[in-house]
Amino acid sequence: MIICKQSRFSKEPEKEKRSHPMTHASELPRSMPEAQGIASSTIHSFVDALEQGHLGVHSFILVRNGHIVADGWWHPYASHLPHMLFSLSKSFTSTAIGLAIAEGRLSLDDPILSFFPSYVTAEIRDTMGSLLVRHLLSMSTGHAEDTFPAMVRSSDGDWVRTFLELPITYPPGTHFLYNTGASFMLSAILQALTGQTLLDYLQPRLFEPLLMAQPVWESNPHGINLGGTGLRLTTMDVAKFGQLYLQRGLWHGHRIVPEAWIEEATSMQIASGNDPNSDWTQGYGFQFWRCRHQAYRGDGAFGQFCIVLPQQQAVLAMTSGTYEMQGILNVVWDRLLPGLHTQPLPERADEAQTLKERLAHLSLPLPEALAAEPAIAAEVSGRSIHLEANTLHLKEIAFTFNEDAATFRMQDDRGAHHVITCGRTDWRIGESPLRHNENRPVPIAAHGGWRDEQTFVMTWQYIETPFRRIITVEFHGDHVELSARPDLSFREIESEQVQGHINFF
């Protein structure tokens, strides 16, 4: 273990000694919105704007003055399901580093090479010798492009070596570049110091005290949690994390995270641009973004948010599936922020009841479909459809159509069989692997309907993720054309197509 010089974060006031009793209440209390200075109609307007803007929000929890004042999940998403957080994971990695600094295990100004002596060569020392922990935290490593893709592509799975061998263009600390590889290196440093993964290290220090029941964090081939992505938590877990930060690291009177670390991590450490209308150019802290309106946030791809508004004593946790992340933040500032009043408002029982009913019946829109079953449905139901060789790795499929559901069976090129039942008037919950080469099935909600007399369309919503797939099947006699298109991707989306023939004999 490497013991470094004391950090100013390592001393805590005597009255706030770290304590993690598991018996105290750890859920957030609830309150009527008006009692916390928010009109129910304001929250109703906020939800209207999200839906009218087609912003793909899956859930939200609004906390004011430590009380949940509104929450909702768009069916088939649900409160008990965890959700992929993507880069919102970075803020949890930052928290782990802050805790490790408080324990005297490292400091912000330690060279990163001090944690990986076996990797150091003369060339690596020349390029990486001045790179410090604070540069990883503030995304100011000096790289010209994100190092994470190169790390993922490394043939030996040694992401640490790959990072250390990549060239640095700018002096560390002088140039902002969003760099998920830097966040992974923070995870690698923590594991090198403690012998524990990020997940294991945070379990007794953060996840257990806040009663975050089943956190999952993906790892690289060498067993190091990804750090910059890969964490899955529920929306409630994200809300509690934001409330912990709003409370400056205290939870029911017990010190969980040093207050000085929270101040440092959420303050601007480096400029990130100069567009006054963008929430990505307000400055960057230690794995937290600064926002407009003196707020700060952790966020992740496709609209995963933990927004903290210290001046308004509010936290907003959201999960989504969208490219329009700035659009979501614009709705927060335009519809929600002006309605956060400092004093309680008069009760409006009618508005509160209307909001309660609205939030209880949120649902993702179902695709339009023909009301009546076309004749082709009876002809193909139960028939085997043999597919040509294809990139979807499907060998054979079959449909069974009935009044309230369509059952889709498929056999992949590894011989594995999968069954997905699609509801006709609602979502049907099942499970299926997210990717072809994964053996672990994930929850899926499916809907299916006839778009026209020859075309059956399935929507598969992966309800622990932002993703869904649209499967379109066209029947032309005994000839079948199937296409599959994801609606969100880190790459340009392309529809994959395959052809096959129905076995009528």
Please give the biggest Cα pair distance in the chain.
81
Global pTM value: 0.92
All domains of the chain in start order, with CATH: 32-360 (3.40.710.10), 375-503 (2.40.128.20)
Distance CA(397)–CA(418), nearest Å, equals: 10
Backbone φ and ψ for 159, nearest 5 degrees, come out as: -70, -30
Per-residue pLDDT of the chain (505 residues; tens, 9 = 90+): 333 333 434 334 334 444 443 333 457 999 999 999 999 999 999 999 999 999 999 999 999 999 999 999 999 999 999 999 999 999 999 999 999 999 999 999 999 999 999 999 999 999 999 999 999 999 999 999 999 999 999 999 999 999 999 999 999 999 999 999 999 999 999 999 999 999 999 999 999 999 998 899 999 999 999 999 999 999 999 999 999 999 999 999 999 999 999 999 999 999 999 999 999 999 999 999 999 999 999 999 999 999 999 999 999 999 999 999 999 999 999 999 999 999 999 999 999 999 999 999 999 999 889 888 999 999 999 999 999 988 888 999 999 999 899 999 999 888 888 899 999 999 999 988 766 556 678 899 999 999 999 999 999 999 999 999 999 999 998 899 999 998 888 876 667 888 888 876 4
> HSE-up of 180 (CA within 13 Å, CB side)?
18
Nearest to 217 by CA among 203, 435, 287: 203
Environment class of residue 358 by beta-carbon count within 10 Å: exposed (0-12), middle (13-18) or buried (19+)? Answer: middle
